Amino acid sequence: MDPITIGLAFTAAQSAVSHIKQAIALGKDVNSLIGEFGKFFQSADAVHIASTKAKVANLTKSDAELGRQALEFAMHSNKLREDEVALKNMIYWELGKPQIWEDMIAERTRLMKEKRDAEKAIEEANKKHKEKMAQMGMMALGFLGGSVIIFAFVMAGIGIDGASEERRVYEEKVAKIAAMRIQRHQAEERRKKEEALEASK
């Protein structure tokens, strides 16, 4: 939360405290103030959390400005803790209904625990999802790399087979040409012999 939002939350909490005190002073039933108590605790929690987890929104802030901001957060948080004690004392001693406060705090604690547990479960689920996606990405890269290697081997095999086939065809042609030359040579030799026999008669 930025300082302005925290300031608004603090103001809302102070307003709720003021309404609760006025209502109790006028003798109103505490049960009719559930909404105001809800506003107080919601706003107070926002301020408490921000005071411990505040992040620097502007890196150009000076050390003095950051110090003032930290002091402001701490003072707001401390004031709201004092307000909470004051409200507790009013319900305990002025109204004489300590059980209402105890029940309210117990329920608030339970709801906050459920919220934290739910947030933790969501965070764990998101973490597992990211890990799963990362593993799937690695598997996809591995599969792609393997496919490229297999494709390269296949193409190399096809190239080798193609070269072997071309060589075989070439050798067959050479053999046929050599056989034809031998046949022509033999035919020429037979013809010369026959001519020589005719001439000798």
**DSSP states of 71-110 as a string?**
HHHHHHHHHHHHHHHHHHHIIIIIS--HHHHHHHHHHHHH
Does 102 fall in a domain? no
Does 22 fall in a domain? yes
Q: Is the confidence at residue 52, as pLDDT, over 70?
A: no
Does 88 fall in a domain? yes
Q: Which of residues 114 and 2 earns the better pLDDT score?
A: 114
Q: What is the rounded average pLDDT of the residues 136-160?
A: 74
Indicate the number of domains in the chain.
1
Does 67 fall in a domain? yes
Does 42 fall in a domain? yes
* Biggest distance spanned by C-alpha atoms of the chain: 161
Does 50 fall in a domain? yes
> Rounded to whole angstroms, how far apart are CA atoms 171 and 129?
62
- pLDDT band per the 50, 70, 90 thresholds, residue 59: low
Q: Which domain holds residue 70?
A: 3-96
Q: Is the confidence at residue 103, as pLDDT, over 80?
A: yes
Does 84 fall in a domain? yes
Q: Is 126 left (phi over 0), alpha (psi -120 to 50) or beta?
A: alpha
Q: Look up the pTM and report it.
A: 0.51
- Long-range Cβ pairs for the range 190-196 (8 Å, 24+): none
Q: Is the confidence at residue 77, as pLDDT, over 80?
A: yes
pLDDT for the residue 82:
92
Does 159 fall in a domain? no
- pLDDT band per the 50, 70, 90 thresholds, residue 95: confident
Of 56, 51, 19, the C-alpha closest to 34 is: 19
